[in-house]
Structure formats: structure tokens, C-alpha cells
Amino acid sequence: MPIKEINNAKNLQFFINNGIKTNFVTSGDTLIAFGNFGGYQSEIIDGEQKVIFEKWIKTGIDMTKLKAINKNLLVDEANFYDCSNGSLQIIPFKKLGLPVKLLLPTEPMQYDF
């Protein structure tokens, strides 16, 4: 099924970090999640049914600060970005109510969970 055009999303690239190819693609400051699709919306546009990915898209992200934990989980200074449950979930560290300290490996590692 064709995808509805994503505003200002040009030159989409898979997000790869520490040797981990993730289920996220990026374009400028736009992050798009492609992990475990479910519950998508579609609509008829110009006579064609197209998928709408609003639940999977977040703009205003500083890609230089993102790190890959595994193919479905990214992290920056303040949030987790999870795409394992059928949409892009942004989980602020503050919302967890616990101090968060991540020890990321120096060698590329792929964790699949």
C-alpha cells in the first residue's frame, strides 16, 4: 500500500549507530519508526488508498544525540524512543521517576528484545 507523503522528509536514511541498523529512518530532524507495525490508518487520496504514519513520526529531534540500544530502541539525553509496540513511543526519563544511567558498549552489539 502506498505511503502518504511525509512533509519535508527527503533523503530518508536508516538510522545506524554503533553498528546497529535500527527500525528507524531519519530525514533532517524527523524520526520515523518502522518496527512492529500495527493499528495503522489509511485514507483515500487521489483515488488511491494510502497509509498514514502519524503515530510513527516525530519532528524536532537532534539526530546527533541519538544512540541505538537495539533495533527498536533509541536514547538521547532525555528520552527513550521505542518502536516495539506498533507506534513510536517517546518515554521521558523524568516520567520514570528514577535516575537513569545507561552504560553503552564500546563495541558494536545487537540486542534483540
pLDDT in tens, 58-113: 989 999 999 999 999 999 988 999 998 878 899 998 898 877 777 666 555 454 43
Cell of 14: 536508516
Global pTM reads 0.74
Cell of 44: 483515500
Q: Which residues lie below 8 Å from residue 2, measured CB to CB, with a gap of 6+?
A: 48, 49, 50, 51
Phi, psi of 95 (to 5 degrees): -70, -25
User: CA 7, CA 27: separation in Å to the nearest integer?
Assistant: 10
Residue bearing cell 558494536? 108
